[in-house]
Structure 1
Amino acid sequence: MTRTTWRNIPTTPLLFVALAAMWGTSFVAIEVGLEFFPTLTFAAVRYELAGLVMLAYAVYSTDRWRPQTRDELLATAIGAVFIIAAYHGLLYLGQKHVPGAVASIIISLSPILTAVFASAILSNQSLGKTGVLGLLSGFAGVVLVANPGAGLFDSAQGLGIVLIFFGAVSFALGAVLTRPLRTDLPVQSMQAWTMFGGGVILHIWALFRGESLSAIEWAPTGIASFLYLTLISGAVAFLLYFELLDRLGPTELNLIGYVEPVVAALMSWVLLGHAIDTTALVGFGAIFFGFAMMKKKMLVDVAVAVRRRVTV
């Protein structure tokens, strides 16, 4: 009889689930923390601190921690503006009016938007007929989640959904704009500067909105939310991301965006008592179907890779 030891347990699926849990629960943590922090200040301080933590790790673990070439500086700037500042600023502003679980469903549209921008900006990318079908399905899913029959554009929740949608647009656009840039800067270093730079931009945006650090309510729940977002779903989660990226590659890891809404919905129900209605679930299904239409080959490659890993 073979004894089961910790060394026999495959760690990659466990790390994947852990990362999905950290990023999925971040939507709920944002919803909780916004009760105690000014909106953009919350996002700004989170990423400034997370960026500094990641920078310290980059100095310790890599042979180069500063961007030097034009492409490296440009990639860092694009990431800071689009992927950190604009995306999270709009997400946090939207989550003032939208539950975290619903926000996570809207954000799951990002891979579809990424494919759309790639086909428009990169010469070697094309949507094709199935891609157009996938795009339409994805947008239909967002419409279902938004539930326009309830007076979408006349409600605070409608405004929140629109803001989060444009946050997903910003994230997707930033991801595509960085693709043609050539950089040898380690991902830890790139992520550190992107986080910190985005946090600074968010702080400037917060000041223009009249936000102030003095408005922070230092309640235990708010502090716990901030620390969780900064250290766990920020620094620790990105370290797991880098490890999984090395083990799985971007193709398989891309699917984590469709596990996060499940985690967010579950934790939102357990911790806050928020249940996702049937229409929103159907909308999420439509978004995933759209993603599947656009990424059929990728899903087949993932299935083959998983099958090989299981049979080894």
Structure 2
Amino acid sequence: MTRRDAALYLALAASWGTAFVATDAALDTVPPVPLAALRFDLAALLLVGVVLATGRSFRPRGWGDWAPILVGGLCNIGLHHALLFAGQRTVPPAVAATLLGLVPVLTPAVTRFARPDERLSALGVAGVLVGFGGVVLIADPDPSNLAASAGVGLVLASAVVWTVGAVFTREDDAELGGLALQAWMLLVGALALDAAAFAVPGQSFAMAAFPPETTLWVLYLAVVPGAAGFLVYFRLLDRLGPIEMGLLEYVIPPFAAVFGWLVLGEGLEASTVGGFLAVLVGFCLVKAGALRRYARARLGG
């Protein structure tokens, strides 16, 4: 990972951390599936407009283009966000962000079959397990609260879908440029979410209301964590691979918690802080080799 990649990695984590809080605020007046659909309708139109305005090729030429478009669009954009937004109706932003810590746990297992050349070391596996322990500590689902437990289940299901999409979205044989591919992925996901908003009972666009505050949140979701965020994500995914990008879910929760505290006035429980520390320890174990190399380089300089 270059310094530029590291900077983009942290910027993406911050952006997606704020998205959990923005989503929570927008869900006050917009049902989850229409909210996800509108967010990616706008994001897709923005990226498509950029592609066309810059004269880039926009026509997929074969399965090498269509495979990542369909997998990324339907899994990482469509189904993932429908499940995630539905779960966030009863799950606080920081908890939802941390529940997606299941992604780094699932990714090495799925990658082992799909990409046998990419795998974690034994220390890395230990780090993933410690990190997931932190996830469980923060989530702390309440069996007596069925609504909250159902929300936790939906968010965890969104993590599974995200993992499948990340592992199987490969651009090795693509002929289209990266920007055009990302525009198509957002467009496919947006159309899938539009269809779901019309087909799923209780998720109609007609049930949504857009006071000024909600409108601003939707625009923010579409532009910053939406169009810009997914453009950065799929670029980094292509360069760094699914395991490295799966670890992003361990970097997002602190940003979500801090932003929730600043914007929504949400408190931080002792168990949440303890969970964050466990996630940090797990992340350091996974990245132990890179941290050692960085320390040697700094000491040597």
**TM-score over 0.5 for the alignment?**
yes
User: Relative to structure 1, is the Cα distance of residues 130 and 179 closer, same or farther in structure 2, using a 3 angstrom cutoff?
Assistant: farther
Give yes or no for contact 1:109–1:287 (8 Å, CA) kept in 2. no
In the alignment, which residue of structure 1 is the partner of 2:84?
A: 91
Distance 1:63 1:268 in 2: 39
Distance 2:240 2:116 in 1: 21
In the alignment, which residue of structure 2 is the partner of 1:161?
A: 152
- Between the aligned residues of both structures, percent identity stands at 33
User: Relative to structure 1, is the Cα distance of residues 284 and 271 closer, same or farther in structure 2, using a 3 angstrom cutoff?
Assistant: same
User: Relative to structure 1, is the Cα distance of residues 177 and 29 closer, same or farther in structure 2, using a 3 angstrom cutoff?
Assistant: same
In the alignment, which residue of structure 2 is the partner of 1:197?
A: 188
Unaligned runs of 5+ in 2: none
Aligned residues: CA RMSD: 3.2
User: Relative to structure 1, is the Cα distance of residues 261 and 305 closer, same or farther in structure 2, using a 3 angstrom cutoff?
Assistant: farther
Q: How far does residue 14 in structure 1 lie from its aligned partner after superposition?
A: 7.2
User: Relative to structure 1, is the Cα distance of residues 58 and 287 closer, same or farther in structure 2, using a 3 angstrom cutoff?
Assistant: same
Give yes or no for contact 2:73–2:189 (8 Å, CA) kept in 1. yes
> Helix, strand or coil for the counterpart of 2:166?
helix
Distance 2:6 2:108 in 1: 26
Q: How far does residue 46 in structure 1 lie from its aligned partner after superposition?
A: 1.0
In the alignment, which residue of structure 1 is the partner of 2:168?
A: 177
User: Relative to structure 1, is the Cα distance of residues 14 and 72 closer, same or farther in structure 2, using a 3 angstrom cutoff?
Assistant: closer
Q: How far does residue 261 in structure 1 lie from its aligned partner after superposition?
A: 1.8
TM-score where L is the length of structure 2? 0.84
Unaligned runs of 5+ in 1: 1-9
Give yes or no for contact 2:107–2:163 (8 Å, CA) kept in 1. yes
Q: How far does residue 85 in structure 1 lie from its aligned partner after superposition?
A: 1.1
> Helix, strand or coil for the counterpart of 1:138?
helix
1:144-293 matched pairs, under 5 angstroms: 144-148=137-141, 150-151=142-143, 154-179=145-170, 181-210=172-201, 211-238=203-230, 245=236, 250=240, 254=245, 257-293=249-285
Distance 2:62 2:16 in 1: 31
TM-score where L is the length of structure 1? 0.81
In the alignment, which residue of structure 1 is the partner of 2:71?
A: 78
Give yes or no for contact 1:131–1:294 (8 Å, CA) kept in 2. yes
Deviations 1:253-286 (A, max 9, x none): 8465444322211111111111121212322333
Amino acid at match of 2:36: A
User: Relative to structure 1, is the Cα distance of residues 202 and 288 closer, same or farther in structure 2, using a 3 angstrom cutoff?
Assistant: farther
Number of aligned residue pairs: give it.
294
Deviations 1:12-48 (A, max 9, x none): 9876665443222111000000111111011011112
Q: How far does residue 305 in structure 1 lie from its aligned partner after superposition?
A: 11
